[in-house]
Amino acid sequence: MLVIAAPGQGAQTPGFLAPWLDLPGFAERLAAWSDLAGIDLIASGTTAGAAEITDTAVAQPLLVAAAIAAAEALFGDLLGARTQAHVAAGHSVGELAAGAIAGVVSPGDAMRLVGVRGRSMAKAAAAEPTGMTAILGGTEDDVLAKLDEHGLTPANVNGAGQIVAAGTAGQLAALAADPPAGARLRPLSVAGAFHTTHMTPAVAALREAAADVTVSDPVMVLLSNADGAAVSSGQEWLERMVTQVSSPVRWDECMRSMSGLGVQALIELPPGGTLTGLGRRALPGVALAALKTPDSLDAARALLAEHGALEPPEPGHVPDWRLLVSPLAGTFHAGGQDAGPGTHVRPGAVLGHVEVRSGQEAVTPPFAATILEWLVEDGDPVTTGQPLVRLQPEPA
């Protein structure tokens, strides 16, 4: 069983697309998509400097275009990807590429959406100085507690000992002066505090753009950053894509789902390296290939020959549970009603509250479900995006 994975913002480097333009049709695809995304993808991927491609409005379309075009080069076309790979997943903006590969949206619509996403997130980031810092090492509990202490959000929980903190420049400076025990900090080359409430203004812009997009249900297993679950509905995927802009990325849960599916190989689309690096530590025994240049295609095709197949994974192995996460950092208090494992809950039912200084925020599922397990207890401190309860959605 094989995963095709698309990296997120921060993976780009100056000139990384230059060698790919020698492949037949590659430059033509990027030229056509440039009009849809609103930027010159060829110039951005070849001659643009580091500062230019750090711009969110440039980086995001560039990464999605590179991933989709490279998938076409690897598999012959996207139909080939859907018949030879079993699972698609993307990290952050890479989810748009994964959605196109899985047949949920057309490549053209993916490029239109990522153009809006990049511009609206860049605008939100310009409202005040914000950023992101990778925290490497330390224990997860210590890291999350330190982030909560400084008012930061764990915007990416990547597994393999890596959590990315996001917040204001002042909050990140305070973290740098007071890091978690045993951890190393690495500031990221991104222009804002992505996947936090700082990006809330971008959600409305993306939702408006998404209203004009036609979606289909995925034809392969498509994992979601929200909780690592497989999304079977194209409309649900689109809604998740919209809200994920201001919600933490749970790549650790995506890799957990890959393990549960019995994945044997993972190919990371360009600019490859980040996700295979995480997989090397969190997915032992899984064969990995990172597409950096066209010279990497032979190694990826060797994995396809060994692990690719025409048959999809058995439906019974697809994780279909959902995680309900904390909307804020505060103290969790369970609801007054008995809501233990096995309890059926209706959409909008109040399962508890997260208490903060200014009041409290209700914890409610947007769908009918059965509670599988609670991941926190009454009175526990929680951080923004922390999983609270695992739910099994009930059939519509």
- Residue 350: enclosing H or E segment and its boundaries? none
Q: How far apart are CA 209 and CA 207, in angstroms?
A: 5
**86, 195, 307, 353: the active-site residue:** 195
Buried-state track 113-122, b at ≥16 Cβ within 10 A, e below 16? bbbbbbbbbb
**44, 92, 120, 247: the active-site residue:** 92
Asked whether 65 and 41 are in contact (CB, 8 A), the reply is yes
- Residue 278: enclosing H or E segment and its boundaries? helix 274-282
Q: Is 353 a catalytic residue?
A: no
Using the Cα atoms of residue 360, residue 127, residue 324 and residue 380 in order, give the sign of their dihedral: negative
Q: State the chain's maximal CA–CA distance in angstroms.
A: 64
The phi and psi torsions of 187 (rounded to 5 degrees) equal -60, 140
Q: How far apart are CA 378 and CA 200, in angstroms?
A: 28
* Rounded alpha-carbon distances, angstroms, from residue 281 to 128, 145, 225, 269: 35, 24, 19, 19
Q: Is 92 a catalytic residue?
A: yes
Residues labelled as active-site residues? 92, 195
